[in-house]
Structure 1
Amino acid sequence: MPEASSLVDVPARQPADRGWLDEAVRRIQADANRSADTHLVHVPVPGLPNVDLYLKDESTHPTGSLKHRLARSLFLYALCNGELREGTTVIEASSGSTAVSEAYFARMLGLPFIAVMVATTSREKIALIEREGGRCHLVDDATEVYEVARRLAADLGGHYLDQFTFAERATDWRGNNNIAESIFEQMSLERHPVPQWVVVGAGTGGTSATIGRYVRYRGLSSRVCVVDPERSAFLPAFAGDDAAVQQACGSRIEGIGRPRVEPSFVPTVVDRMMLVPDAASVAAMRFLSERTGLRAGASTGTNLYGALRLACELGERGEGGSIVSLLCDGAERYAGTYRDDAWLAERGWDLAPYEAVLARAWDTGTWLTPD
């Protein structure tokens, strides 16, 4: 043990510019302060008068999607951990919407931004990233985005935000105006203020982790259902099907589903998982627009398909209650994909069977899964 007199002060290797850091945090917090909370929209279902369905419209964020919340949290997390400094190049692996939001915050702070994405990402999302001043590095295989992002960060001396690892820890799940707290505060004056189910998809897994932890922390009876698209690793992992996890190759529904089980996915706070066929997701996004005028993307369709199934289950048991899900982003981001009949036909996606399921559920409260 050295004598106290032999100890010396060791300065930080790269002293942070606290002036720049304080201003960066102020700018991000100011953005949150001037952005009103998103609306919780009541969506009446004619065939289920005793079940109330709500969609929290996350498309009204400044960058148009649920991922605005995550991007804000990730930037604050990196800033307060001393990982972002003036001039740092910010790197992210993304399926598009998170990168749009992160490009917005990077531009706000004057930082270069690069999004590593699979080449099949919608052209509309790529254009939005570039409009915010970001650059897109496209790869052919969804499993490559992680390593390519790490390598770019190392080569450029930048910082890899890594939403798939840090989503669940960057968000304060106890409250602090997170999405869970917002949902339950907005539900407080409704007919059934504590939802029977909260239905969400999983991309990073951060949203389901936040909501699942929050309901336990607050002692609420709500259950969390995660809806998962085809080819995703989350549902097989939840079911303990290791072989199917190994076969997962990534979702065709942008924003949800992954080729691997992401570190931010916390299965122990999920009460149920449900597989939703890709064609069903697209059918549901279009159905929502036709019946309500709400124009959303396919991940919202995934949510709606699962939420209606749960609503029908409640109705068939003679139970009432409420179900809350998310409107994740707007339909305008998918004009060349999910909204394009020719694009769907090229992929052989037949929406008709699922349109029939949705219409029956909506009009009669009866769920009949197609063969």
Structure 2
Amino acid sequence: MSAPAKEIIDLNRWNRAERDWVIGAIGTVTADANRSADTHLLTVPLPHQWGIQLYLKDESTHPTGSLKHRLARSLFLYALCNGWITEGSAIVEASSGSTAVSEAYFARLLGLPFIAVMPATTSAAKIAMIEREGGTCHLVTDPVTIYQESARLADELGGHFMDQFTYAERATDWRGNNNIAESIFDQLAYEPFPIPEWIVTGAGTGGTSATIGRFLRYHRRHTRLCVVDPENSAFFPGWKHRDSAIRTGHASRIEGIGRPRFEPSFIPTVVDRMIQVPDAASVAAVRFLRSITGLTAGASTGTSLFAAYRLICEMRAENTRGSIVALLCDPGDRYTDTYYSDSWAAHQGFDLESYLDILHTAHTTGKWLGPPSR
């Protein structure tokens, strides 16, 4: 007598309804990219005889107004394709800034609840931005606990913790697929120096610098990557000493960049140079940008711009011609009560005038009179 046939159990079975929902969700997220024009590459005027071009990649034109729109889209696609997000999943993120705003936007597109876990000290304006995109805010007393609380809350709700600080470096296709690096090079194609000497960016999760650094190597570009870091951040000392265990214990005053710990998505080996920029210099730089172009931006843009002028002056000293691209990460209208407020700057103890003088001299003469790079 033959043995009874064994029941075959497919533990990875993906039923038709689940498949249809995920396929539709991926289509919805992809459609957002398809209907959104690429962000602009703006020029900052420099003396023609220098033979140096300075560009700003204006990420503020995304639907949610910041560079983090790219990251949020990539994180959603990554989680959907991995089967981590299904119909009705609650989306949880540890963020009090632009990432939460962008993720709330995509969650609403998919009809999913979104919860941002953030410190109780988060400003009412930031909370309002997240809520305007359909998200809710879960406040915690101790900022250090936002990661653990996010994981706990996602588990309790049967949802998904996006964990931008872990997955940012792998969610984006660094080979191309219209990532930010590919976009920059495409837009430079008809410029005087289509292969820039430097691309300058800050690091919050580290995802953008990882994407750009890997892209440059994969496509065999000679362009160097400079990552800028504000005060109180662990990235610069961790990179300098090759020590990922460094902790500073302090939050960054420059929103969007700088972290008190060395985040998993920051890949130090793809970075050619780091420059630590004083916070007052970052604030002065966005005010200087407004004075010469009329553009307003958040202070993370100022961090990159201040370092870009340092690099411009080095190129002038070496009689090197070429181009530099820095990122304009988000608009200045989010920061009228902080970076553009004289009373706020005074309360922080910032001496903006000295840094404005440094920038003016660099912009008009190509000479660097500022503090040496660290």
Shorter chain as denominator, the TM-score bin is over 0.9
Name the residue aligned to 1:74: 75
Q: Are 1:49 and 2:37 counterparts? A: no
Name the residue aligned to 1:63: 64
Name the residue aligned to 2:9: 9
Name the residue aligned to 2:101: 100
Partner Cα separation in structure 2 for residue 229 and residue 314 of structure 1: 23
What is the TM-score when the length of structure 2 is the normalising length?
0.94
Amino acid of the structure 2 residue aligned with 1:19: D
1:181-238 CA distances to partner (integer Å, 9 max, x unpaired)?
A: 0000111111011000000000000001001000110111000000000000000000
Amino acid of the structure 1 residue aligned with 2:153: L
Matches within 5 A, 1:177-192: 177-192=178-193
Partner Cα separation in structure 1 for residue 319 and residue 309 of structure 2: 15
Amino acid of the structure 2 residue aligned with 1:264: S
Partner Cα separation in structure 2 for residue 244 and residue 135 of structure 1: 32
Cα displacement (A) at 1:19 = 1.6
Name the residue aligned to 1:319: 320
Contact 2:245–2:262 (8 Å) recurs in 1: no
Contact 2:225–2:271 (8 Å) recurs in 1: yes
Matches within 5 A, 1:1-371: 6=6, 8-12=8-12, 17-46=18-47, 49-240=50-241, 242=243, 245-370=246-371
Structure 1 residues 141, 274: closer, same or farther in 2, change over 3 A?
farther
Partner Cα separation in structure 2 for residue 318 and residue 244 of structure 1: 40
1:257-301 CA distances to partner (integer Å, 9 max, x unpaired)?
A: 001111110000000000000011000011101111111000000
Amino acid of the structure 1 residue aligned with 2:146: V
Cα displacement (A) at 1:17 = 1.1
| Segment of structure 1 superposing worse, 177-186 or 340-349 | 340-349
Partner Cα separation in structure 2 for residue 182 and residue 268 of structure 1: 23
SS of residue paired to 1:193: coil
Cα displacement (A) at 1:8 = 2.0
Partner Cα separation in structure 2 for residue 177 and residue 71 of structure 1: 15
Cα displacement (A) at 1:49 = 2.8
CA RMSD of aligned residues (A): 2.0
Partner Cα separation in structure 2 for residue 193 and residue 90 of structure 1: 40
SS of residue paired to 1:52: strand
What is the TM-score when the length of structure 1 is the normalising length?
0.95
Cα displacement (A) at 1:143 = 2.5
Structure 1 residues 176, 22: closer, same or farther in 2, change over 3 A?
same
Cα displacement (A) at 1:137 = 2.0
Contact 1:142–1:249 (8 Å) recurs in 2: no
Gaps of at least 5 residues in structure 1 are: none
Contact 1:124–1:334 (8 Å) recurs in 2: no
SS of residue paired to 1:41: strand
Cα displacement (A) at 1:54 = 0.3
Amino acid of the structure 1 residue aligned with 2:62: H
Q: Relative contact order (alpha carbons < 8 A, sep ≥ 6): 1 or 2 greater?
A: 1
Contact 2:150–2:161 (8 Å) recurs in 1: yes
Quote the sequence identity (%).
Answer: 63
SS of residue paired to 1:247: coil
- How many pairs were matched up? 369
Structure 1 residues 246, 110: closer, same or farther in 2, change over 3 A?
same
SS of residue paired to 1:17: helix
Partner Cα separation in structure 2 for residue 298 and residue 285 of structure 1: 6
Partner Cα separation in structure 2 for residue 258 and residue 185 of structure 1: 31
Structure 1 residues 47, 284: closer, same or farther in 2, change over 3 A?
farther
Structure 1 residues 340, 122: closer, same or farther in 2, change over 3 A?
farther
Contact 2:247–2:262 (8 Å) recurs in 1: no
Partner Cα separation in structure 1 for residue 4 and residue 167 of structure 2: 39
Contact 2:96–2:116 (8 Å) recurs in 1: no
Partner Cα separation in structure 1 for residue 262 and residue 206 of structure 2: 9
Partner Cα separation in structure 2 for residue 316 and residue 244 of structure 1: 37
Structure 1 residues 243, 198: closer, same or farther in 2, change over 3 A?
closer
SS of residue paired to 2:50: coil
Cα displacement (A) at 1:124 = 3.0
Contact 1:253–1:298 (8 Å) recurs in 2: yes
Amino acid of the structure 2 residue aligned with 1:153: A
SS of residue paired to 1:224: strand
Contact 1:300–1:327 (8 Å) recurs in 2: yes
Contact 1:72–1:105 (8 Å) recurs in 2: yes
